[in-house]
Amino acid sequence: GYRVSLQGNFFGHNHTYVAFPVYNPRKHIKLDPPLNIQSNATASKCQIWWSVWNVPWYLAEILQYELQYKEYSMSWEVALNKVLSSSLPQVEIEATELRSGIAYAARVRCKVSENENSYHSQWSEWSQTTVFQRTDVPKVSEKILNTKTMQYLFIPLSFGTLLCLLWNCKLSSRRQKASPALTFPHQLLSFGHSIVCTMGILR
């Protein structure tokens, strides 16, 4: 520790003012702001990362960061703040927290973690900003959607058609006892024609 005092001559008299009887530099740290903040936004999340400069390795491992982000056209006074629990110089924002088609700006600052007893610091100044915008989810083509719908409907429709044909065959066999052998092949042929037509639609 150090003893910090101020000395001056006032009206011809020397005076000494003790500012800090015991001053410990490790308890009064102010770090430089983070550098090189960058971002990459997708349809599901936004990744933001940065670097720190002029920070000893034993402090870099116990840093905490605060992220601040807002809509680009809004004031920083209405920005959202997040104090990050990890000492890693990166963070992810879920897409659900961002509005589609809106540009955002983000910045970050750092200090020694409050859980650390050996060192103490105040927040650094804010970093430069990075600008990002959420990517919209591509819409499924209407043609692909219709094809998949037909595929899902093909099996139950075919099964229902088969049941109807069997029922018609049974009724026809009762009505036309004289020629039962001609009815079922005719209905089976119609069922095969229906399947071929349906497969042609799917293609």
95-113: pLDDT as tens digits: 999 998 899 999 999 999 9
- Rounded to an integer, the average pLDDT of 114-130 is 94
Does residue 126 share a domain with residue 38? yes
Query: Of 134, 153, 175, which residue is a domain's last?
Result: 134
Distance CA 194, CA 189 (A): 9
Domain assignment of residue 89, yes or no: yes
CB atoms within 10 A of CB 6: 9
The CATH number of whichever domain residue 113 belongs to comes to: 2.60.40.10
**Strand pairing category for 45-51 and 103-112:** unpaired
Average pLDDT taken over every residue of the chain? 81
Tens-digit pLDDT profile for residues 48-66:
999 998 898 999 999 999 9
User: Domain residues for 13?
Assistant: 1-26
Q: Is residue 78 part of a domain?
A: yes
Residues 5 and 74 in one domain: no
pLDDT(118) > 70? yes
Whether the model clears a pTM of 0.75, i.e. scores above it, the answer is no
The verdict on 11 and 62 lying in the same domain is no
Q: How many domains does the chain have?
A: 2
Instruction: Give me the DSSP letters along the chain.
Output: -EEEEEEEEETTEEEEEEEEEEE-GGGSEEPPPPEEEEEEE-SSEEEEEEE--S--HHHHTTEEEEEEEEETTS-GGG-EEEE-SS-SSEEEEEGGGS-TT-EEEEEEEEEE-TT-SS--EE-------EEEEPPPPPPPPHHHHHHHHHHHHHHHHHHHHHHHHHHHHHHHHHH-TT-HHHHHHHHHHHHHHHHHHHHHHH-
Asked if 106 contacts 15 with a C-beta cutoff of 8 angstroms, the reply is no
In a domain, 173, yes or no: no
| C-alpha dihedral, 99 to 104 to 110 to 115, nearest 10° | 0
